[in-house]
Amino acid sequence: MSDKVLLDANVLYSQPLRMMLLNLANVDECSVQFFWTDKIDAEWTGAFIRKHPESKEIIAKQVEAIKKSFFECYVLDYEPLIDQLKLTDPDDRHVLAAAIKTGCNVIATDNTKHFPAELLAEYGIRTMTRDELMCFLFTNEKASVMKALDNFARVHKDPELTVEDLLIKLDRSVPSFTHLVRES
């Protein structure tokens, strides 16, 4: 059985990490499936636009392109589950509902305290921070991760980037992961 990971907004917020995960989702050999929702997109884009209002149109176009290319990653019809769930932060119930709907076994989020392990265990779900996720992916899907890094570097043209350039960009959000890659 392959792992299924629901990506929370705080994971998708970082552009380099988001692009890395999208590149990884495109690697045929990768057995991990990634999921998120329109509401999760609205959360990360809203936070980004509040910080960078000049980027509103660019972000809207990016999300449109992502949705077109990765439609199968979007969770649909999870909303009826939301009201049945109890979390310390009710605004996070949609994340758990989407994970349950798709049969995810991991929620990738840096808000792990919002998702009690005992409750998640009832659904066969656990949390991982974004750094833990990337380390897990590198450990279990090394060839796919390296292929995704190479693909990301190869297609990035303005400016051109090397894998090391990408690792420098990823250092801030996933430092343990970048250390693992450099040490391998």
**88: closest CA among 67, 64, 116, 107?**
116
Q: Does residue 183 register a pLDDT over 60?
A: yes
* Residue range 87-107: mean pLDDT, rounded: 95
Token code pair at residue 77: 């019809």
pTM over 0.85: yes
Q: Which H or E run includes 128?
A: strand 126-128
| Contact (Cβ atoms closer than 8 angstroms) between residue 34 and residue 137 | no
* Residue range 141-145: mean pLDDT, rounded: 95
What per-residue confidence (pLDDT) applies to 1? 53
pLDDT digits (tens, 9 = 90+) for 18-65: 999 999 999 989 999 999 999 999 999 999 999 999 999 999 999 999
